[in-house]
Amino acid sequence: MQIAKRTAIREATADDYGAIADVMFNAVRYGRSEYTEEQRRAWVPQPPSGRGWVARLDSQTILVAMNSKRVIGFMSLAANGYIDFAYIQPSAQGTGVFRRIYQSIEKLALNNGVARLWVHASLMAQPGFATMGFAITKREVVDVGEQSFARFEMEKRITNLCSCKCSK
Protein backbone atom coordinates (compact mmCIF):
# COMPACT_ATOMS: atom_id res chain seq x y z
CA MET A 1 0.00 0.00 0.00
CA GLN A 2 3.04 2.30 0.32
CA ILE A 3 3.12 2.87 -3.46
CA ALA A 4 -0.47 4.17 -3.47
CA LYS A 5 0.29 6.63 -0.66
CA ARG A 6 3.23 8.07 -2.63
CA THR A 7 1.22 8.26 -5.84
CA ALA A 8 -0.12 11.51 -7.27
CA ILE A 9 -3.20 11.44 -9.51
CA ARG A 10 -3.50 14.06 -12.25
CA GLU A 11 -5.12 14.58 -15.62
CA ALA A 12 -3.04 13.28 -18.51
CA THR A 13 -1.74 15.43 -21.32
CA ALA A 14 -0.72 14.43 -24.84
CA ASP A 15 2.86 14.27 -23.54
CA ASP A 16 1.78 11.26 -21.43
CA TYR A 17 0.40 9.21 -24.32
CA GLY A 18 3.62 7.26 -24.92
CA ALA A 19 3.94 6.37 -21.23
CA ILE A 20 0.25 5.41 -21.14
CA ALA A 21 0.79 3.09 -24.12
CA ASP A 22 3.73 1.47 -22.31
CA VAL A 23 1.66 0.92 -19.15
CA MET A 24 -1.09 -0.73 -21.21
CA PHE A 25 1.40 -2.95 -23.05
CA ASN A 26 3.23 -3.96 -19.86
CA ALA A 27 0.02 -4.64 -17.94
CA VAL A 28 -1.40 -6.89 -20.66
CA ARG A 29 1.80 -8.63 -21.70
CA TYR A 30 3.70 -8.93 -18.39
CA GLY A 31 1.09 -8.59 -15.63
CA ARG A 32 -0.74 -11.41 -13.92
CA SER A 33 -3.21 -12.81 -16.41
CA GLU A 34 -5.87 -15.43 -16.90
CA TYR A 35 -5.45 -15.14 -20.67
CA THR A 36 -3.02 -17.22 -22.72
CA GLU A 37 0.12 -15.73 -24.21
CA GLU A 38 -1.49 -15.95 -27.66
CA GLN A 39 -4.52 -14.00 -26.42
CA ARG A 40 -2.32 -11.35 -24.82
CA ARG A 41 -0.28 -10.97 -28.03
CA ALA A 42 -3.49 -10.54 -30.06
CA TRP A 43 -4.92 -8.02 -27.55
CA VAL A 44 -1.85 -5.77 -27.45
CA PRO A 45 0.82 -6.86 -29.95
CA GLN A 46 2.86 -3.70 -29.28
CA PRO A 47 2.40 -0.43 -27.41
CA PRO A 48 -0.39 1.45 -29.20
CA SER A 49 0.54 4.53 -31.20
CA GLY A 50 -0.48 6.58 -34.20
CA ARG A 51 -3.33 8.89 -35.10
CA GLY A 52 -6.09 6.45 -34.11
CA TRP A 53 -4.57 6.01 -30.65
CA VAL A 54 -4.17 9.75 -30.15
CA ALA A 55 -7.73 10.44 -31.36
CA ARG A 56 -9.14 7.82 -29.00
CA LEU A 57 -7.27 9.27 -26.03
CA ASP A 58 -8.10 12.85 -27.00
CA SER A 59 -11.82 11.99 -26.98
CA GLN A 60 -11.90 11.25 -23.23
CA THR A 61 -10.53 12.38 -19.89
CA ILE A 62 -7.59 10.31 -18.72
CA LEU A 63 -6.23 10.30 -15.20
CA VAL A 64 -2.71 9.03 -14.57
CA ALA A 65 -1.09 7.79 -11.40
CA MET A 66 2.41 9.19 -11.01
CA ASN A 67 5.12 7.77 -8.78
CA SER A 68 8.51 9.48 -8.84
CA LYS A 69 7.64 11.32 -12.08
CA ARG A 70 6.74 8.03 -13.79
CA VAL A 71 3.27 6.98 -15.00
CA ILE A 72 2.41 3.74 -13.19
CA GLY A 73 -1.27 3.52 -14.06
CA PHE A 74 -4.14 5.21 -15.83
CA MET A 75 -7.91 5.14 -16.19
CA SER A 76 -10.16 7.03 -18.57
CA LEU A 77 -13.67 8.43 -18.58
CA ALA A 78 -15.34 8.61 -21.98
CA ALA A 79 -18.81 9.75 -23.01
CA ASN A 80 -21.84 8.45 -21.13
CA GLY A 81 -19.82 7.33 -18.10
CA TYR A 82 -17.85 4.66 -19.96
CA ILE A 83 -14.50 3.69 -18.44
CA ASP A 84 -12.57 2.83 -21.59
CA PHE A 85 -9.12 2.15 -20.11
CA ALA A 86 -7.92 0.94 -16.71
CA TYR A 87 -4.33 -0.33 -16.57
CA ILE A 88 -1.69 -0.52 -13.84
CA GLN A 89 2.02 -1.33 -14.28
CA PRO A 90 2.66 -4.92 -13.11
CA SER A 91 5.03 -3.68 -10.38
CA ALA A 92 2.24 -1.48 -8.94
CA GLN A 93 -0.63 -3.98 -9.17
CA GLY A 94 -2.15 -4.87 -5.81
CA THR A 95 -0.83 -1.72 -4.11
CA GLY A 96 -3.99 0.40 -4.04
CA VAL A 97 -3.17 2.45 -7.16
CA PHE A 98 -6.26 1.12 -8.99
CA ARG A 99 -8.45 2.20 -6.06
CA ARG A 100 -6.88 5.69 -5.96
CA ILE A 101 -7.38 6.29 -9.68
CA TYR A 102 -10.90 4.90 -9.61
CA GLN A 103 -11.90 7.17 -6.71
CA SER A 104 -10.71 10.15 -8.75
CA ILE A 105 -12.62 8.94 -11.82
CA GLU A 106 -15.80 8.59 -9.77
CA LYS A 107 -15.41 12.12 -8.38
CA LEU A 108 -14.85 13.44 -11.91
CA ALA A 109 -17.98 11.65 -13.12
CA LEU A 110 -20.06 13.03 -10.25
CA ASN A 111 -18.79 16.54 -10.96
CA ASN A 112 -19.87 16.08 -14.59
CA GLY A 113 -23.38 14.92 -13.61
CA VAL A 114 -22.82 11.28 -14.56
CA ALA A 115 -25.13 8.91 -12.66
CA ARG A 116 -23.90 5.59 -14.08
CA LEU A 117 -20.40 4.29 -14.74
CA TRP A 118 -19.87 1.24 -16.91
CA VAL A 119 -16.95 -0.77 -18.23
CA HIS A 120 -15.97 -3.80 -20.24
CA ALA A 121 -13.72 -5.51 -17.69
CA SER A 122 -11.17 -8.17 -18.46
CA LEU A 123 -10.85 -11.26 -16.29
CA MET A 124 -8.11 -9.45 -14.34
CA ALA A 125 -9.98 -6.13 -13.95
CA GLN A 126 -13.34 -7.61 -12.93
CA PRO A 127 -12.39 -8.22 -9.26
CA GLY A 128 -11.09 -4.64 -8.88
CA PHE A 129 -14.24 -3.13 -10.32
CA ALA A 130 -16.39 -5.45 -8.19
CA THR A 131 -14.56 -4.19 -5.10
CA MET A 132 -15.45 -0.64 -6.14
CA GLY A 133 -19.14 -1.58 -6.23
CA PHE A 134 -19.64 -2.56 -9.88
CA ALA A 135 -22.02 -5.39 -10.75
CA ILE A 136 -21.79 -7.68 -13.76
CA THR A 137 -24.57 -6.92 -16.23
CA LYS A 138 -23.40 -9.24 -19.01
CA ARG A 139 -20.79 -11.92 -19.66
CA GLU A 140 -19.30 -11.59 -23.12
CA VAL A 141 -16.87 -13.26 -25.47
CA VAL A 142 -15.18 -10.97 -27.98
CA ASP A 143 -12.85 -11.82 -30.84
CA VAL A 144 -9.58 -10.08 -31.59
CA GLY A 145 -7.95 -11.56 -34.63
CA GLU A 146 -8.10 -15.32 -34.23
CA GLN A 147 -8.38 -15.17 -30.43
CA SER A 148 -11.53 -15.12 -28.29
CA PHE A 149 -11.63 -13.34 -24.94
CA ALA A 150 -14.05 -13.68 -22.04
CA ARG A 151 -14.90 -10.37 -20.39
CA PHE A 152 -17.64 -8.72 -18.36
CA GLU A 153 -19.81 -5.70 -18.94
CA MET A 154 -20.19 -4.09 -15.52
CA GLU A 155 -21.95 -1.01 -14.18
CA LYS A 156 -22.27 1.07 -11.08
CA ARG A 157 -24.86 3.70 -10.22
CA ILE A 158 -23.19 6.61 -8.46
CA THR A 159 -24.51 9.39 -6.26
CA ASN A 160 -22.93 12.22 -4.33
CA LEU A 161 -22.47 9.85 -1.40
CA CYS A 162 -19.61 7.40 -1.74
CA SER A 163 -21.19 4.10 -2.75
CA CYS A 164 -18.01 2.14 -3.34
CA LYS A 165 -16.84 -0.50 -0.88
CA CYS A 166 -13.79 1.56 -0.07
CA SER A 167 -12.67 3.54 2.91
CA LYS A 168 -12.71 7.28 2.33
pLDDT by 10s per residue, the chain, length 168: 556 567 899 999 999 999 999 999 999 999 999 999 999 999 999 999 999 999 999 999 999 999 988 999 999 999 899 999 999 999 999 999 999 999 999 999 999 999 999 999 999 999 999 999 999 999 999 999 899 999 999 999 998 654 455 544
CB 31 within 8 A of CB 93: yes
Phi, psi of 75 (to 5 degrees): -145, 150
CB 100 within 8 A of CB 4: yes
Kindly write down the DSSP assignment for every residue of 91-111, as one continuous string: GGTTTTHHHHHHHHHHHHHHH
Q: Which domains does the chain carry?
A: 2-157 (3.40.630.30)
CB 164 within 8 A of CB 129: no
Phi, psi of 83 (to 5 degrees): -90, 105
Burial of 103 (0-12, 13-18, 19+ CB in 10 A): middle
